[in-house]
Amino acid sequence: MSRRALAGFRRDAYAMLAGALLDPDEARLAHLAFQARRLQRLSNRLSGLAIYRQWSALLRVLSAGPRPPSDALRAEFTDLLAGPAASCIPCESHYLLAERHEVPLLNAALEREYAAVGLAWNPKAADAPDHLAVELEYMAFLCGREAHAWERRRVEDAGLALVRQQRFMRQHVGRWAPTFARELMATGSRVYAVVGEALEAFIHHDRDLIDLLLQSVSPASGVLRQPAATQGVP
């Protein structure tokens, strides 16, 4: 698997996990099914990754399309993730903040993080900046940048994208998503337990993988001229 292909797979994986945590309407489920079938064709290559088993299970579930009927799935989604009595709250503030009044500060910090790469926050967006789907979409965006950089053989740009991924993973999504995933797995829902299992495995794996990929573009490897962390990443 080339580095571009690996970054591309990671982009698709983050986007797919983000989609699986949003309202499962017909259009979204159809799109997820299409994406899952596309990724299933990479099966041989993905077996080299330790997350293969959990990931295959997720692709099997998502590629089946709107089954169980999306109404039933939407009811489950509301119970688990979105309703007023949701049993798993997919927000960073719920896991990492001790005080409610700190939530706006966290969201402001996240908006600044998104804005630094040119993403403007839409104030009409239904989900808060610390919603897991938003954080996963942001990681997907960074992986997309990395893939683009590899495609053009711009190693330094790829390194910078990896630095951002590493920092966001360590400061935000990597700190709480595995705990959330374990709670999702414990709910007993067939579809969401599979999503939780794949999410937990993927985040653990990607946290280490980013470190490893970054090592390989470190100054010692001769790819970056100076430590990526000092290359002006705000």
Partner 1 sequence: MRGTAGHPDVAVLLCADLGRRVELSALRGWLQQALPGVAAHVVPSLCAQRAEFARALRGVPASRLVLGVCAAPSEGAYFQARLRRADRDPLAVEVVDLGRIGRLHAGPVATETAKVLLAGAVAKLRAFSGARPEQLKPVRPAAVSRRAMLTWSVFEYQVVPSVDAGRCRADRGCRLCVDGCPRRAMEADNGAITVRKSDCISCGVCVTACPYDAVAFPGATAAQVGAQIAALLSAPASLWPRGILFTCRHSPALDAVASRGLTYPPNWLLAEVPCVAMIPPAWMLAPLAMNAAAVALVPCGDDGARGEMEAVRGRVEYCREVLRRCGEGDDRIRLLPEETHALADALRDIPAPAREGPEPAAEALFAAAAASQVLLQLAGRYGAPGAAAIAHPSSPFGVVDVGEACTVCGACADACPTDALRVVQEATESVLAFTPSACVACGRCVPRCPEPHTLRLRQVTDLRRLAAGPVDLRRTRTPRCEACGAPIAPEAMLRRVTAILGRDGAAAAAVITRYCASCRGTAPPMS
75-105 b/e (C-beta count within 10 Å ≥ 16 → b): ebbebbbbeeeeebbbbbbbbeeeeeeebee
Choice from 30, 34, 47, 225 touching partner 1 (CB under 8 A): 47
22 versus 214: smaller Cβ distance to partner 1:
214
Stretch that binds partner 1, among 31-39, 133-141, 160-168, 200-208 (CB under 8 A): 200-208
Q: Which residues pair with 91 in a beta bridge?
A: 131
Q: Could you give the CA distance from residue 118 to residue 175 in angstroms, rounded to a whole number?
A: 24
Token couple for 126: 């239904």
Choice from 132, 163, 200, 224 touching partner 1 (CB under 8 A): 200
Q: How far is the CB of 30 from partner 1 (least distance, A)?
A: 28
Choice from 16, 20, 21, 49 touching partner 1 (CB under 8 A): 49
Binding of residue 1 to partner 1 (CB under 8 A): yes
Binding of residue 205 to partner 1 (CB under 8 A): yes
Among 47, 54, 27, smallest CA distance to 193 is for 54
Token couple for 78: 């509301």
Q: How far is the CB of 112 from partner 1 (least distance, A)?
A: 26
49 versus 132: smaller Cβ distance to partner 1:
49
Binding of residue 67 to partner 1 (CB under 8 A): no
Q: Please classify residue 39 by burial: count the beta carbons closer than 10 Å to its beta carbon, then call 0-12 exposed, 13-18 middle and 19+ buried.
A: buried
Q: How far is the CB of 154 from partner 1 (least distance, A)?
A: 12
How many residues bind partner 1 (CB under 8 A)? The answer is 29
Beta-carbon count within 10 A of 64 CB = 14
DSSP single-letter state for residue 234 = -
Amino acid making up residue 133: A
Binding of residue 123 to partner 1 (CB under 8 A): no
Q: Could you give the CA distance from residue 36 to residue 16 in angstroms, rounded to a whole number?
A: 8
Q: Could you give the CA distance from residue 174 to residue 170 in angstroms, rounded to a whole number?
A: 6
Binding of residue 231 to partner 1 (CB under 8 A): no
Binding of residue 43 to partner 1 (CB under 8 A): yes
Choice from 100, 120, 153, 188 touching partner 1 (CB under 8 A): 153
Task: Name the residues that contact partner 1, by CB under 8 A.
Answer: 1-3, 6, 43-44, 47-54, 150, 153, 178, 200-201, 204-205, 208-209, 211-212, 215-216, 221, 223
